[in-house]
Chains A and B, each alone.
Chain A
């Protein structure tokens, strides 16, 4: 039983020698939204462009619904894309932009009009059909680009950082709208982004990519809570990394000497006693308490920051710098710079990565 979209051993090397995609395997299930997440240059966009047909992979296959996609020219693949800069045709009206793919498919007359109007309504742009793309705001343009792709009811939707051109606030709003819309239409999608919040919000599963490879594929929760590599832990959310040594291994966990104390951490890979490791501690897993609180690790506040809903502390602990971020109840006191404090570190969230 094959997946809906299936990438097998995808490899792409550019003429200048850089290997953009280095053996990517990916299965996307029907109706699922998968985000390709990673820093720029990780190969996520190239992977997407291989699916769309704008790049020829050197090796590997791409199949959609069991049929080979990579042998088809770009215009014969039922995988429509929402482009980063929207790529709206400046010489065509909003209506004609949305109608473009239908006209190519020889849909005309009332059917065309009805489908375009319906899709424009879906993205909240009824009545904007006669405008030129240049007359719309960034957010509206983005929705036209979406409508242009959606109107074809494609087998697969491809998103190439569709929100990256918008300012932060609009991005946040559209992220939620987009999620609702994608869920509603239920089209299988591949979504490329470097913004983890976007990936977390929109995707059913996230493929974190680094240097042309998928490092981890999982639900947002798995990615966040159980990163399989230091890279994933570092890239998704914030993390403190503390050096330590494995004292003993117990099943999936390791007992690690760190920060002058001993903690139990989930092992991301098989470990042996005596191994040097780095232990990930999420900032929200560190609670700043009074210095004399039992079971805490002693530390000094370097700098206390007030973010309204949360307190962020920059801490020095056993010569290591740690960040703590925790919700701050209204009126609760904030530790002062230079104050000695005790840190409570939640063991369940620790993960050890071999060095």
Chain B
């Protein structure tokens, strides 16, 4: 350490700052959850947790949660695979581009948006299900949840498979073809086995995301209760922190296990870079009956995605979609004249403050992990990843428990800046991990000799970092910032427990509208949110050059 201080003073200083930061904003909140879960009045008492398992009612919630995660993981993975195969092996030209964008679109959907339009279109009085086909379907419950979650999360699987398919050497398939195998046989014996790591990765990521999902279970879960919404209701409805912590602790276990298995399994390969257009490989098309099947499934999904988005917009611009389809701006008037304008500016401001901090702190920690020779630097990596691994509601609960009392009183409108700091912290710890992964991958591609050359030419660590490292990882940092901004704008679960009257968060306002079943205003909010996110992505890209939308899965 002494020699490190001498040789890498900036790295050592940074490590101390990073360690303090991580301890305060990541470890402390998690420790607060843990403490509440197993300590009570000075003694060891894990009853909040054991009660969840012992009580048949709450045990059912645990079972429901796992069931939902597993099924959403399976369906999402299969649909993602279908899209990856369709865009690379079954479709060409504009059709391929269409499928590609259809598979990316759900990534920017704010929470509730898809569930909302599911009610509009496929509800008991849905435009498509009831009014078009006269079908009696109820989206409330596991079925509706799985429908929405599959649509919401399959893009993650698509990105993973798409990257794997592209990395695959077309020569392998050509060799199999040359040896006399049919296209279908190649798919079964060569292509799919080569995609095997993708199955595990996609399934586990979607499993984790599904477990963490708060908005959809609240809106269309019906009687199908899950852990994330139970944590939320325990706080909002009863402010029973011990009850909430019990659910949270139980939810944390499968989430962390699945997340870190995925990390160890898929490793750095899990960082997937998506460029705007799918590449045209030399790979050959599949046999026509497989192509037809793939195109059928993916085009049907595309139609659903498109109609869901249209329904959000339609819901926003009509009086009461499905009841009174008169075009109106009333919903926007209601939103913008009310709290909506403040929510828009507040959320955008907080997101915009947090995004560059998340992007840069991801870079700084990545630099420590990849470049410094500090002992235990890998611990930084894993600790920062906790912020992404834990379900947002658990993180939010941790922040609430940690920062609603001295010495760090940051929540509530009587705290400093009316509680703004805790939102920024929440946004940062939630999105810095993605920036971290992107920057780790970017730094690993840079020859260390470049930084050594800079040092050798007389530049100190800071100058080297500023003049050599940063320009070379610029794209990764920018992607991290864009990702952070969009995620900040659209996250609900992390901030749902932290709302204050001084700072309005759009997603939480949507939750209020949905709560009161004001679906039109909910749709108007969602539409505004989608527009802000799209404008921000395009503007940032225009501003910083031709960077592709990069999404770290």
Contacts and interface: CB of A to CB of B under 8 A. Distances in A.
Interface string A28-62: 00000000000000000000000011101000000
B6 A73 contact: yes
Contacts of B6: 71, 73
B454 interface: yes
Contact of A91 (B7, B9, B456, B472): B472
B456 A84 contact: no
B453 interface: yes
B449 A152 contact: no
A90 B460 contact: no
A81 interface: yes
Given A90-B472, A104-B463, A80 B457 contact: yes
A105 interface: yes
A216 B302 CA distance: 74
Interface string B1-19: 0010011010000000000
A105 B455 CA distance: 12
Given A56-B7, A87-B449, A148-B457, 11 more contacts: A54-B452, A71-B6, A74-B456, A80-B456, A80-B457, A83-B452, A83-B453, A84-B449, A85-B447, A87-B447, A87-B453
B118 to A, nearest CB: 47
B546 to A, nearest CB: 16
B471 interface: yes
Contacts of B461: 75
Given A85-B447, A89-B468, A91-B471, A75 B458 contact: yes
A75 B453 CA distance: 9
Nearest to B6: A73
A101 interface: yes
Question: Which has the most chain A C-beta neighbours within 10 Å: B454, B455, B456, B460?
Answer: B456
Interface of A: 52-54, 56, 71, 73-77, 79-81, 83-85, 87-91, 100-101, 104-105, 148-149, 152
A21 to B, nearest CB: 16
The 5 closest A-B pairs by CB, nearest first: A101-B457, A87-B449, A87-B453, A74-B455, A91-B471
A100 B467 CA distance: 9
B459 interface: yes
A88 B452 CA distance: 11
21 contacts: A54-B452, A54-B455, A56-B7, A71-B6, A73-B455, A75-B455, A75-B456, A75-B457, A77-B456, A80-B456, A81-B456, A83-B449, A85-B447, A89-B454, A90-B472, A100-B454, A100-B467, A101-B458, A104-B458, A105-B458, A149-B457
A85 B451 CA distance: 13
A87 B459 contact: no
A99 to B, nearest CB: 10
Nearest to B7: A73
A76 B452 CA distance: 12
Contacts of B458: 75-76, 101, 104-105, 152
A53 B455 contact: yes
B457 A104 contact: yes
B349 interface: no
Given A89-B468, A91-B471, A101-B458, A74 B453 contact: no
B450 interface: yes
Contacts, number: 74
A300 to B, nearest CB: 50
A104 B459 contact: yes
Contacts of A74: 7, 452, 455-456
A275 B472 CA distance: 62
Contact of B7 (A53, A79, A104): A53
A56 B5 CA distance: 12
Contacts of A53: 7, 455-456
A80 to B, nearest CB: 6
Among A56, A79, A84, the most chain B Cβ lie within 10 Å of the Cβ of A56
Interface residues of B, number: 23
B111 to A, nearest CB: 39
A345 to B, nearest CB: 47
Contacts of A149: 457
Nearest to B449: A87
Given A54-B452, A56-B7, A87-B452, A75 B459 contact: yes
B471 A52 contact: no
A87 B450 contact: yes
B408 to A, nearest CB: 36
A105 B463 CA distance: 11
Given A80-B457, A105-B458, A56 B452 contact: no
A90 B450 CA distance: 9
A161 B64 CA distance: 63
Contacts of A89: 450, 453-454, 468
Contacts of A90: 450, 472
A79 B3 CA distance: 20
A71 B3 CA distance: 9
Nearest to A79: B456
B459 A100 contact: yes
A104 B453 CA distance: 12
B211 to A, nearest CB: 39
B405 to A, nearest CB: 44
Given A83-B449, A84-B449, A52 B456 contact: yes
A88 B337 CA distance: 57
A154 B451 CA distance: 19
A73 B467 CA distance: 18
B457 A100 contact: yes
A101 B458 CA distance: 6
B224 to A, nearest CB: 53
A56 B3 contact: yes
Nearest to B456: A81
A101 B7 CA distance: 19
Contacts of A75: 454-461, 464
Contacts of A73: 6-7, 9, 455, 460
Contacts of A52: 452, 456
A13 to B, nearest CB: 14
Contacts of A83: 449, 452-453
Nearest to A148: B457
A91 B464 CA distance: 13
A54 B461 CA distance: 13
Interface in B324-373: none
Interface in B447-494: 447, 449-450, 452-461, 463-464, 467-468, 471-472
A75 B10 CA distance: 13
Contacts of B450: 87, 89-90
Contact of A85 (B9, B449, B471): B449
Contacts of B464: 75
B457 A152 contact: yes
A83 B453 CA distance: 7
A53 B453 CA distance: 11
Interface string B235-257: 00000000000000000000000
B62 to A, nearest CB: 45
Contacts of A152: 457-458
Contacts of A54: 452, 455-456
